[in-house]
Amino acid sequence: MSKASTPISSIARGSIYMCVASLSVAFMNVSAKVVSEVAGSMTALFIRSAIMFLLTLPVAVFAGGSIVGKKPWLLFLRGIIGSAALACLFLSLKKLSAAEATLLRETAPLFVLLFAPWYLRETVSRGMVIATVIGFIGVTFVLKPWSGLIQVPALIGLLGGILAAHVMMILRAMRGMYPPHSIVITFAICGMLLGAAGGGFWGVFLIKKELLPWIAALGITGTVYQLLLTSAYRYAPASIISPLALLSVVFAALADWIMFGAKPDGYSIFGFVLIAIGVGSVPIVVRGAKAN
C-alpha cells in the first residue's frame, strides 16, 4: 500500500467504525431509556459501566502491560468527562424521546468547531461559522424556548453534547497513546464511581427480572459502542467522522417509532434537519479551510 493511499484507508476504516458505533449507541440509548424510567438514570449509568468493565477486563488482562500508561491524568480526564456526558444523556432520556436525547448529544461536533480556536489552535473559517449557526438554530427548535419554559431535560441533554465535544478532542489528542481497551476500562471505572455517587448502586437491588434483557442490551451495546468509537478516532480526525454519529439519531428515531410509537413534533423535526445540515457540513467546511 502506498503512502498516499494510507490516509484515505485510515479515514475509511474510521468511518466504518463510526457507522457501526452509531447503530450500537442507538440501541444503547433505547435500552437506557427503559432502564432509566424504571430504575433511575444513575442506576442505568452504574449498570452500563459495570457491565462494560466486566466485558473489557478480560481483554485488558490478555493484552497485558500497563493500563494507565505514561499520561494517566489524560486517560482519567477522558473517563470523568465522558461519564458526566453519559450521565447527562441518561438523565435526558428519562423525560425525552430517544431520538431527541440522542440528537442533543450529537450536537458535539458543533461544539468542537466552537472550541477549536482555543483547544486545538485551529482557525475558524466563515463556512465553519455558518455551519455552527445553522446547527444551533436547529437546537433552538428542539428546545422550543417560545413555549414558555425550556425543558430542563433538554438543557441537560445539550450539556451532554458540550461534554461529549471535549471527549472528542481528548480522544483525538490521545491517538496512538493507548489501546482502546485501556480507554474503555478507565471510562467504565469512572462511570461506576459517578453512578454510585449519584445513588445508582442501591437502585440495582430494586431491579426486577423483567428488566434484565434491557440491562444486558444496555451493557453489551454500550461496550461495543465505546470500543468502536475509540477505534474510530484513532484512525480519522474528529472533524471528518464525528458527523457520521448523526446516524444514531436516525436509528434511535426508528426504534422510538417501532417500539414506543413516539413521534417528534414539527418543530423538533425541523430542528433535526437544521442540526443535520450544520453537523453534516463540518467535514466539508473543514476540508475547505485546510485547502485554503
pLDDT tens profile 182-205: 888 999 999 999 999 999 988 888
Averaged pLDDT score across all residues of the chain? 81
132 within domain boundaries = yes
pLDDT at 229 over 90: no
Domain limits at 263?
A: 21-291
What pLDDT score does 6 carry? 37
**How would residue 257 be classed by pLDDT, with cut points 50, 70 and 90?**
confident
Q: What is the pLDDT of residue 116?
A: 66
Q: What is the pLDDT of residue 53?
A: 94
Pick left, alpha or beta for residue 40 (phi over 0 → left; psi -120 to 50 → alpha; otherwise beta): left
Residue 2 counted as domain residue: no
Least confident of 77-81, 93-97, 283-287: 283-287
Task: Flag whether pLDDT at 10 surpasses 60.
Answer: yes
Q: How many domains does the chain have?
A: 1
To 5 degrees, how large is the angle CA 243–CA 249–CA 252? 150
Q: What is the pLDDT of residue 83?
A: 96
Selected residue with higher pLDDT from 133 and 78: 78
Contact (CB, 8 A) for 107 and 142 = no
Categorize the per-residue pLDDT at 151 as very low, low, confident or very high, splitting at 50, 70 and 90. Answer: confident
Three-state DSSP state, 1: coil
Over 80: is that where the pLDDT of 286 sits?
A: no
Reported as a single tens digit per residue, the pLDDT across 85-103 is: 999 999 999 888 888 888 8
Is 109 inside a domain boundary?
Answer: yes
Mean pLDDT computed over 270-290: 66
| Whole-angstrom distance, CA of residue 16 vs CA of residue 9 | 11
Buried b (16+ CB within 10 A) or exposed e, 228-257: bbbbbbbbbbbbbbbbbbbbbbbbbbebbe
Q: Where are the alpha helices (DSSP H) in 204-281?
A: 212-235, 238-241, 247-255, 266-280
The answer to whether residue 198 is domain-embedded is yes
Stretch 113-134: mean pLDDT: 70
Inside any domain, residue 11:
no
Q: Which residue has the higher pLDDT, 42 or 209?
A: 42
In the prediction, which pLDDT does 189 show?
95
What confidence score (pLDDT) does residue 8 get? 65
Q: Give residue 31's pLDDT band: very low, low, confident or very high (50, 70, 90).
A: very high
Asked if the structure places residue 4 within a domain, the reply is no
pLDDT at res. 248: 81
Structural domain contains residue 3: no
Q: Say which residue, 238 or 141, is predicted with more confidence.
A: 141
In a domain, 12, yes or no: no
Q: Could you tell me the pTM of the whole model?
A: 0.79
Mean pLDDT: which of 115-124, 145-154, 167-176, 198-207 is highest?
198-207
Would you say residue 144 has pLDDT above 70?
yes
List, in order, residues 6 or more apart from 155 with CB less than 8 Å away.
143
